[in-house]
A and B are shown apart, each in its own frame.
Chain A
């Protein structure tokens, strides 16, 4: 396909703007984060400072743990629900679609306070209550990731084939549906995990400390350290995204093999 000169100009202008808005600040932040003592030379001092902070590892671990649990909770709740919706209750999909958008519409303060009082006391008194909140705020994204994936597979036929071969519902979901929508599941897992690990407002409102809330305090005392923290968080998120994307791509389809016999394929 031949691209007209006008389109080349548009592409060039878009690339330049992206560079200016996105890449340049990141490059500047990375450059600052490697500045040495008193702003002179290049060193890893700011990253060393970051790793030496008391709260770095515990809070990072807490965030990773809560986000991972939120991802798992999202899948445990959403995969069977979405399968049921797509198989047996198509007419209720618009309603569920609307309900899943609510976390985007309801103000975070109302959501945090309102949902917290609905939880049992032993959950309210534990940092694990955040797992439920993270799963709730990820709902609009996990719903769509799973729904899109389920639309691409012949769900009804696969389920019927599995059932007629003697498999139970649990076996059908675990052995047939989950592998068939693996990319959607990984997408939903990543979205819930990413939202959980970066969540600040609800955690702060409910007075819990995770990595994002800890960084606000930690960054006050060392501006270059705070920049190093931003770069660390950004690179970490990109690395995580790339890893999950790689795993999901490798798992979806085996590499195509050439047919051994060249004759007419029956």
Chain B
């Protein structure tokens, strides 16, 4: 695939990649394909193996088994400095003794690029990250966001086959994080560069990636578009990890159906094989709960214990006997009359829910 700048995008593939640290399996047979020009985010809790996977791709860590290819060429034995991959680190990692220009041209000097071409490329990169006025500044004279933009420009200057982003926004404050995130996405789409992005922040992954891979215990639990991942999680772990979810007790009342609160609700196909009478924990999104009349036969009564205004939505925390606090997200305009301490009735609107053994 060729982008608007005439650059060819690459395909990155990991097949059965594992990494052991002694007896510990940090990565367990990872299969992943990142298509040309695609941005894939690896999401997961600490220690799930996402950073190990990225470091194996970068050549900073070796895999115990499996193969790594870029455009079909095996990269397992290629040392890091010969991989032509641009990497942006969480801690910026700019060279403190070099100014912005020198940092950006570092990789170009390593490739022995002619001075004139180097200057031209640096100017392009500075324009791309909108830091032309800081060309002669040193890293300690820049804010965190500016340093990360320089790091991005430095990684892109070498025209890498694959761009690797290792939690590049973690060290930034919330407002700057949002801006840099959008900037990374804009540049990535503009250059059409194949990108692997690692993060533990689900909002970050969902908002920036074409596809998100959720990892747990060294394995890829599910890889899908953000919307699919949210609406059709393949496992209870993915359902719990992606988005907010209530964990509500229930019991299987018939094949593929469970009694949850005062309702009978179908279980998703992925977990519908529970035996009759099995105690389960249903995973129910706050936005699938609605207020209803107390005369509704499916209604559950509860006491408002918490009310948080979130702008267009308000989050209610409802105390129900025998259950942890249940969160309901409702349009703020519909809950003006509700106060903490008031009783309400609500029910689940989802046609089917994800569940796991209690």
Contact = CB atoms under 8 A, between A and B. Distances in A.
Contact of B81 (A163, A256, A266): A163
Given A165-B106, A166-B107, A265-B143, A179 B93 contact: no
Given A154-B93, A164-B87, A256 B158 contact: no
Given A160-B93, A161-B89, A257 B158 contact: no
Contacts, number: 94
Interface residues of A, number: 28
Contacts of A254: 99, 138
Contact of A157 (B86, B91, B111, B138): B91
B255 interface: no
B97 A163 contact: no
B84 A166 contact: yes
A219 interface: no
Given A158-B95, A161-B93, A257 B141 contact: yes
Given A160-B60, A165-B110, 18 more contacts: A153-B96, A157-B89, A160-B80, A160-B87, A163-B79, A164-B85, A164-B155, A166-B81, A166-B82, A166-B111, A167-B81, A168-B81, A171-B110, A179-B95, A179-B96, A266-B149, A266-B179, A266-B180
Nearest to A258: B141
Contacts of A182: 97
Interface string A144-164: 000000000110011011111
Contacts of B37: none
27 contacts: A154-B91, A157-B89, A160-B60, A160-B89, A160-B93, A161-B87, A161-B93, A163-B59, A164-B86, A164-B87, A164-B155, A165-B81, A165-B86, A165-B106, A165-B110, A165-B154, A166-B82, A166-B111, A171-B110, A176-B97, A254-B138, A256-B141, A261-B133, A265-B142, A265-B146, A266-B143, A266-B180
Nearest to B95: A176
Interface string B80-120: 11111111010101111111000000110011000000000
Contacts of A162: 95, 106
Interface in B55-97: 58-60, 79-87, 89, 91, 93-97
Interface of B: 58-60, 79-87, 89, 91, 93-99, 106-107, 110-111, 133, 137-138, 140-143, 145-146, 149, 154-155, 158, 164, 176, 179-180
B207 to A, nearest CB: 18
Interface in A207-266: 253-254, 256-257, 259-261, 265-266
Contacts of A259: 141
Across the A-B interface, the 7 shortest Cβ-Cβ residue pairs: A265-B143, A165-B107, A179-B97, A266-B145, A166-B110, A161-B93, A157-B93
Interface string A107-149: 0000000000000000000000000000000000000000000
A69 interface: no
Contact of B59 (A154, A164, A260, A266): A164
B230 to A, nearest CB: 30
Residue from B95, B137, B145, B146 with most neighbouring chain A CB atoms (10 Å): B95
Contact of B137 (A171, A257, A266): A257
A166 B84 CA distance: 7
Interface of A: 153-154, 157-158, 160-168, 171, 175-176, 179-180, 182, 253-254, 256-257, 259-261, 265-266
A160 B140 CA distance: 20
Contact of B60 (A163, A260, A265): A163
Contacts of A160: 58, 60, 80, 87, 89, 93
A164 B80 contact: yes
A6 B86 CA distance: 61
B98 to A, nearest CB: 8
Contacts of B60: 160, 163-164
B94 to A, nearest CB: 8
Given A257-B137, A266-B180, A165 B146 contact: no
A253 B141 CA distance: 11
A266 B182 CA distance: 13
A180 B98 CA distance: 10
A158 B103 CA distance: 12
Contacts of B93: 154, 157-158, 160-161
